[in-house]
Structure 1
Amino acid sequence: MKKFLSLLLVSMLGGALTLGIYKLAFEKEIPLLENQPAQSKFVTASYNPASTAADDVDFTTAADKTVHAVVHVKNMTISRGPSSIMDYFYGSGGQPRAQIGTGSGVIISPDGYIVTNNHVIANATELQVTLNNNRTYRAELVGTDPETDIALIKIDADEDLPYLAFGDSDNSKIGEWVLAVGNPFNLTSTVTAGIISAKARDLNEMDGKFQSFIQTDAAVNPGNSGGALVNTNGDLIGINTAITSQTGSYIGYSFAVPSNIAKKVVDDIMEFGNVQMGTLGIKGQDLGVLSNSEEDYNESQGILIAEVFKKSGADKAGLKPGDIIKKVDHIQINKFSDLTGYLRSKRPNDNVQLTILRDNNTMELPVTLLDNSSYVYTIDEIGISVQEQTKTDKDRFDGQNGVVIYGSNEYNRRLGLDGKLLIGINDDKIKNVDDVKKAVAKAKSYGMMSIVYINEYGERERLVFRE
């Protein structure tokens, strides 16, 4: 019995010794941490060790500052149209009928100046403004700029009004929270929230019109036009202007005129009565568009200068075709709407600093912006603007003398005049802009003006304008 117990004890000690050696030699110690999940090398998109960003955003201050400064704008127009079959036959024009359009506006001064959209007040015979406290006032049109779709109106109140100060839209960032405040569906001020989805957005839907919008996903519906886009501090960074939708209602994208552009338009209207435009004087193309062409470019972002207009600010600064614009002052230039959007906040004689690439070398050139009247002349009587031909134009028209129709009003644009070569006014031949000025001065005494131009097929066409 003693022998058996001795063997059992030796066996147990041997087993314990063997197990201990195995543990030490072949197994690593794995610590046990209670309530500690294993950490992955890669973090998933939904991973968030703290609270979400939205939890830290407070919209109440911005909303409280904004709603009382946003107004309802009612536009009454008088139209005439056939009201019976007899009107169609006899062309009597029918009875005048009142039509009502509505939108929003933003009070920008305590004495009642209000910024809104041009399309909200267009053709108005009477304007009416209703504040958030339901008080109603007659409004007067101060001025408007159809190209940026900004208008300035004014009401006279007995007391100082709540207003919003313009913020710096250049400092707004993609992904930043914003509020859209307006009066959709004839409601009092309504607040929606979203983020900035893009900047310097060009919709390319309005031919001949400038576009450089702030894009947001804050809900904007009919009636929001002219309302405020503000950041979480309540700073006015945009005027809500457009939506893109097949139904006419909000589907996820809306667009606002940046506050720096709206403020400059308002300042110009109040100081000069019209909008002062400072221009570089170039023709150019987005490098992003050219990157798929046969041309070989090392850069994919920026503006490639194709032409420099004579006597323009760009010409005087020494810019050349082939230069690539990368930056204007502190603004990075990736596409043409970045450039035009920033320059829209500038006036003639303002100075800007251009950063360009020339032969793969970075250069900085100071440029003084000029009024395009130095190389563009507008014939107000018939609603077209002309400019001297560039080298590209001369190649396109086989060296034919004349001036290029640079831009035109909506009626002439529908006729397709833009880009044609103007070679005659009445009986006068046109070689340059000076010839145009002389011919227009003579034509004013005739009571009519005819123009001769060459179309894209090299054919001559004549168009007669009568007073």
Structure 2
Amino acid sequence: MGITMPGITMAQVAPAAALPDFTGIVQKNAPAVVHVEAKYSGRRPKNSAGGQPMQGMDPGQAEIFRRFFGMPMMPSPEEQAHTSLGSGFIISGDGYILTNNHVVDHADVVTVRLQDRRTLTAKVVGTDATYDIALLKVDATGSLPTVSIGDSRTLKPGQWVLAIGSPFGFDYTVTQGIVSAVGRSLGGGDQPSTSFIQTDVPINRGNSGGPLFNLQGQVVGINSQIYSDTGGYQGVAFSIPIDLAMNAVDQLKAKGFVTRGMLGVEIKPVDEDVVKALKLDSAKGAIVVNVTPDSAAQKAGLQSGDVILAFNGHDIVQGTDLPPLVSLTKPGTSVPIKILRDGSEKTINATIGAMPRNQNEQSALGKVAPSGGSSALGLSVENLDSATRSQLGLKAGEGVGISDVTGPVAAQAGLQQGDVILMVNQKKVGTVEAFRAATANVKPGDTVLLLVRRGDTTNFIGLTVPNGKDE
């Protein structure tokens, strides 16, 4: 006899039966997941303990687990200063293993432990701090179990994923969740060339370097970071896309380091001020703040003020979309770049250069801008002398200096005396007269876009003139 609950229909409870069963994925792949331990003769580097950049359990908790629950891989408090714990996974039967760079960075000895309890010494074949990738190699008798590599580009928010790793030294711990977002930038920092997979999979210290699987049992990411105020899991974890990681693997095998493409531009996201000033339909794209001399961008004809809409066929929805795409492009490749200039779309081709090693291509979210002047904008400007231009690396006829901030519009935007204005609404200004002409028709309600140099940083600043006496 069936039992029904008041107010609940079968249609409402049916979805519970459709929840995925992860046991097959775990049984197949757990043997290819390894525990990684790195030893240091001195104190280990900052953020090397797996689960970067958060703190783990306190020393008292760690000691209780180690002593009373028999955790041979959990170091004592004294050992923690010289030990880093993490996870990894075997990508080929001949012993190549992927993990995070921050797990093994500067280690003297690296060992991995397999599910069959074998402990093997690992050689660090190569590392890349920018992608936070490390490739290890172990020698073992017979062919080792391996994971299957998937396609992280097909991931969509809402899809189920699971992780296998060693949080706090608990080997082969399985956690599951969903993809929360893809293409997530963490704000520049040390990894501007990585668009992370964000998940709500419980990830903690020791999970770093472990695999993230899709429901097909394929690795789609490498668990790398968590966001937490306390050091514990709070529902926000980040994984490196496996496509990016495997690109790095091929290069690490071949030459021991990773080469990235470089366009040679500083960019800024298209914000509301840029949209207003340039009368754009949306805030999509990345606006070029500065072009590096003799770079691929300069040779292709890119200019300050251009809005990059697409790179090599990929739409640039937000500014942070561009660095990873450029980074993954092989130097010497010619790619089409769709831009918006003076209200018209056009496509130019750029031959991508090579980024110098140990240098990151970042979106420049830069600084701010610079007697004549504009009362509406609240600033006065003056011509630059040749010595000032030479010091700033400017050519003759480039830029005017802010001699005084006279009103609230410029002051609220953070403009300062000594800043240099290079462009007004994408038009170059090199004299007080040119600045006056460019701002002569500014009226209440208008937004004016200035390209500003302060020191060695250049940025676009939008100034909106108040519309009414009380604003």
With the shorter chain as reference, the TM-score category is 0.5 to 0.7
Mapped partners of 1:364, 1:80: distance in 2: 52
Tell whether the 8 Å contact from 2:131 to 2:191 is kept in structure 1 after alignment: no
Q: Any idea what the Cα deviations from partners look like across 1:259-280, whole Å, max 9, x if unmatched?
A: 1221111111111221111111
3-state SS, counterpart of residue 52 of structure 1: helix
- Tell me: CA distance 1:457–1:152, structure 2 relative to 1, closer, same or farther (3 Å): closer
Counterpart in 2 of 1:178? 161
- Give the drift of 1:140: 0.8
Counterpart in 1 of 2:285? 302
Tell whether the 8 Å contact from 1:312 to 1:372 is kept in structure 2 after alignment: no
Mapped partners of 1:312, 1:393: distance in 2: 24
Mapped partners of 1:171, 1:97: distance in 2: 39
Q: Any idea what the Cα deviations from partners look like across 1:138-186, whole Å, max 9, x if unmatched?
A: 1111111112211111111111111124322222212222112211121
- Tell me: CA distance 1:62–1:287, structure 2 relative to 1, closer, same or farther (3 Å): farther
Report the number of matched residues: 337
- Give the drift of 1:305: 1.6
Counterpart in 2 of 1:139? 122
TM-score by length of 1: 0.64
Q: Any idea what the Cα deviations from partners look like across 1:241-286, whole Å, max 9, x if unmatched?
A: 0001011111000001111221111111111221111111111111
Counterpart in 1 of 2:224? 241
Mapped partners of 2:231, 2:43: distance in 1: 26
- Tell me: CA distance 1:364–1:135, structure 2 relative to 1, closer, same or farther (3 Å): same
Structure index of larger Rg: 1
Question: What is the one-letter code of the residue matched to 1:52?
Answer: P
Mapped partners of 2:360, 2:307: distance in 1: 30
- Tell me: CA distance 1:372–1:139, structure 2 relative to 1, closer, same or farther (3 Å): closer
Counterpart in 2 of 1:219? 202
- Give the drift of 1:309: 2.4
Tell whether the 8 Å contact from 1:227 to 1:240 is kept in structure 2 after alignment: yes
- Give the drift of 1:70: 1.3
3-state SS, counterpart of residue 298 of structure 2: helix
- Give the drift of 1:240: 0.5
3-state SS, counterpart of residue 78 of structure 1: coil
Mapped partners of 1:99, 1:333: distance in 2: 43
Which is worse superposed, 150-159 or 65-74?
Answer: 65-74
Question: What is the one-letter code of the residue matched to 2:172?
Answer: S
Mapped partners of 1:96, 1:53: distance in 2: 46
- Within the alignment, does 1:105 sit opposite 2:88 as a pair? yes
- Give the drift of 1:193: 1.3
Counterpart in 2 of 1:198? 181
Counterpart in 1 of 2:131? 148
Counterpart in 1 of 2:38? 75
User: 390, 400, 412: which is aligned to 2:390?
Assistant: 400
Q: Any idea what the Cα deviations from partners look like across 1:318-339, whole Å, max 9, x if unmatched?
A: 3333222222345332223222
Mapped partners of 1:215, 1:229: distance in 2: 11
Question: What is the one-letter code of the residue matched to 1:129?
Answer: V
- Give the drift of 1:304: 1.1
- Within the alignment, does 1:55 sit opposite 2:18 as a pair? yes
Counterpart in 2 of 1:336? 319
Counterpart in 2 of 1:251? 234
3-state SS, counterpart of residue 41 of structure 2: strand
- Kindly report which structure 2 residues correspond to 1:87-106, keeping only aligned pairs within 5 A, or say none: 99-106=82-89
Bigger relative CO (Cα 8 Å, ≥ 6 apart): 2
Tell whether the 8 Å contact from 1:277 to 1:347 is kept in structure 2 after alignment: yes
- Tell me: CA distance 1:80–1:260, structure 2 relative to 1, closer, same or farther (3 Å): closer
Mapped partners of 2:167, 2:140: distance in 1: 24
- Within the alignment, does 1:355 sit opposite 2:318 as a pair? no
5+ residue gaps in structure 2?
A: 1-8, 45-77, 362-367, 371-383, 395-453, 458-471
Counterpart in 2 of 1:64? 27
Q: Any idea what the Cα deviations from partners look like across 1:88-142, whole Å, max 9, x if unmatched?
A: xxxxxxx999722100011111111111111100121111100122211011111
Counterpart in 2 of 1:36? none
Which is worse superposed, 184-193 or 327-336?
Answer: 327-336
Counterpart in 2 of 1:318? 301
Q: Any idea what the Cα deviations from partners look like across 1:365-386, whole Å, max 9, x if unmatched?
A: 333211145xxxx8x9xx999x
- Tell me: CA distance 1:457–1:165, structure 2 relative to 1, closer, same or farther (3 Å): closer
Counterpart in 1 of 2:147? 164
Mapped partners of 2:206, 2:90: distance in 1: 16
Tell whether the 8 Å contact from 2:275 to 2:281 is kept in structure 1 after alignment: no
Mapped partners of 2:254, 2:156: distance in 1: 31
- Within the alignment, does 1:117 sit opposite 2:100 as a pair? yes
- Tell me: CA distance 1:178–1:290, structure 2 relative to 1, closer, same or farther (3 Å): farther
Mapped partners of 1:53, 1:308: distance in 2: 55
5+ residue gaps in structure 1?
A: 1-45, 82-94, 386-391, 405-454, 459-467
Counterpart in 2 of 1:434? none
Mapped partners of 1:323, 1:370: distance in 2: 20
Tell whether the 8 Å contact from 2:262 to 2:355 is kept in structure 1 after alignment: yes
Tell whether the 8 Å contact from 1:78 to 1:96 is kept in structure 2 after alignment: no
- Tell me: CA distance 1:69–1:294, structure 2 relative to 1, closer, same or farther (3 Å): same
3-state SS, counterpart of residue 109 of structure 1: coil
Mapped partners of 1:47, 1:362: distance in 2: 54
3-state SS, counterpart of residue 357 of structure 1: strand
Question: What is the one-letter code of the residue matched to 1:66?
Answer: N
3-state SS, counterpart of residue 40 of structure 2: strand
- Tell me: CA distance 1:308–1:265, structure 2 relative to 1, closer, same or farther (3 Å): same
Tell whether the 8 Å contact from 2:262 to 2:331 is kept in structure 1 after alignment: yes
Give the alignment's Cα RMSD to 1 decimal: 3.7
- Tell me: CA distance 1:290–1:116, structure 2 relative to 1, closer, same or farther (3 Å): farther
Tell whether the 8 Å contact from 2:130 to 2:190 is kept in structure 1 after alignment: no
- Give the drift of 1:340: 1.6
3-state SS, counterpart of residue 266 of structure 1: helix
3-state SS, counterpart of residue 73 of structure 1: strand
User: 268, 281, 302: which is aligned to 1:285?
Assistant: 268
Question: What is the one-letter code of the residue matched to 2:327?
Answer: R
Question: What is the one-letter code of the residue matched to 1:187?
Answer: F
- Tell me: CA distance 1:295–1:457, structure 2 relative to 1, closer, same or farther (3 Å): same
Tell whether the 8 Å contact from 1:61 to 1:233 is kept in structure 2 after alignment: no
- Tell me: CA distance 1:285–1:177, structure 2 relative to 1, closer, same or farther (3 Å): same
- Tell me: CA distance 1:252–1:293, structure 2 relative to 1, closer, same or farther (3 Å): farther
3-state SS, counterpart of residue 297 of structure 2: helix
Counterpart in 2 of 1:18? none
TM-score by length of 2: 0.63
